[in-house]
Amino acid sequence: MDTNIPINSGVSIVICCYNSQNRIIPTLNAIAKQIIADFSVEIIIVNNASTDNTSTITQNTWNALNAPFPLSIIEEKTPGLNAARITGIKNAQHPIILLCDDDNHLYPDYLSVLVKTFRVHPEVGAVGGQGIPLFESQEPQWFETCKGAYAVGPQLPESGYAWVLYGACLALRNSACQKLLSSNFQFIGTDRKGNQLASGGDTELCLALRILGFKLWYEESLKFFHAIPTNRLQWSYLIRLHEGFTSAGVYHDIYQSYLSPSPPKNYILDLFKKWTYFLAVCIKYYPQYKQAQEGNPLILNYIGWKQRVVSWPLILPSLVHKKRKFAEWYKHQTNV
């Protein structure tokens, strides 16, 4: 396993865009201000079925900034964040790949700290930092208790190994990604497509890398601004977002079972036990849920429990099939 980051290494910044013309300019401005020492940088824009002027505005903005790093724009017609990420990863030329969202504004030292972190931790396949919220309008009273859903705030109390990392500014070791792709890895769940709030591709990437033997590292000194527009600061948006997280969690359970010291022997029986438990929890807390006001964490918890109860019976046949396919992939990896 080649985990070394050469001294003259570089970073491939992959930005997956869907109708990003109103978000991309400050993102590019922040990248242009990066403090670069002994490494190279390239930017890969994956234009994922956009219907606006994302490509034109991106190129014009970069030219106006005197194009400090090479920038390429790749069209990915298959809608969905997972497809866009894979396209970006396949085209990355440098040892480190940074998945920078179109609303992430990097601190000036972000890339320098990132390269140093990968050099210091050769066992690590992915590195994450902390987002600083950049509000377009007044911060809601409930935001502080729910900020993790927006990929902002510390991911751990301090720098250290993580179980998973959020997708905003998630950095990957290219050699680890290539090992993953060469193993015929396929996402089990879906991620965002257009305006849909499905999610979970970032968590799948992290868990798959862990199965391949790589560790994950949270670095508290890696910081970026995460722009949050007014429409995403609505309680109704957070509920939809949480529904997407919980639905994806049904698929993440498959990974978790294989990473557990004691995986269940009977997958269907284990699912039924979990379904019964969440049904009982929903019944128990239903009266409190109905009386809860906006901002009460119980509402989000209840939505999570309910999604589990509703999702499992509806997708059980496909879930069992995906579990079987995943088991084949896992067995092949552990025997390599």
> What is the DSSP annotation of 152-212?
-B-SSSSSEEES---STTEEEEHHHHHHHHHTT---SS----TT-----HHHHHHHHHHHT
In this structure, which topology does domain 10-228 adopt according to CATH?
Spore Coat Polysaccharide Biosynthesis Protein SpsA; Chain A (3.90.550)
80 vs 83: CA distance, rounded Å: 6
The two tokens of residue 35 are 């403090």
pLDDT of residue 329: 80
Confidence class of residue 292 from pLDDT cuts 50, 70 and 90? very high
Q: What is the pLDDT of residues 259-280, one digit of tens each?
A: 887 776 787 888 899 999 999 9
DSSP, res 293 = P
Measured CA distances, 279 to 42, 175, 273, 304, 309 (Å): 49, 43, 10, 11, 6
Q: What is the pLDDT of residue 193?
A: 55
Can you give the pLDDT at residue 249? 80
Quick: pLDDT tens for 55-109. Answer: 999 999 999 999 999 999 999 988 888 889 999 999 999 999 999 999 999 999 9
List alpha helices for the chain, DSSP H: 24-32, 54-64, 81-91, 110-120, 143-146, 174-182, 201-211, 235-259, 267-291, 297-335
- Name the packing angle between helices 81-91 and 201-211 (round to 10°): 50
**Type of residue found at 29:** N
Which band of pLDDT confidence, cut at 50, 70 and 90, is reported for residue 1?
A: very low
Encode pLDDT of 189-225 as tens digits. 665 554 555 567 889 899 999 989 999 999 999 999 9
List CB contacts of 99: < 8 A, sequence separation 6 or more.
14, 16, 85, 88, 167, 169, 170, 171, 172, 202
Q: Helix, strand, or coil here: 226?
A: strand
Nearest to 313 by CA among 282, 278, 286: 278
CA-to-CA dists, residue 112 to 40, 68, 116, 120, 135, angstroms: 11, 16, 6, 12, 26
Determine phi and psi for 7, rounding to 5 degrees: -60, -40
Q: What is the pLDDT of residues 123-146, one digit of tens each?
A: 999 999 999 999 999 999 999 999
* Strand, helix or coil for residue 8: coil
Tell me which residue of 283, 159, 146 sits closest to 222, measured CA to CA: 159
Tokens 């067995």 appear where?
331
Q: Does the structure show a pLDDT above 70 at 27?
A: yes
Residues 172 and 146: their CA atoms lie apart, in Å, by 26
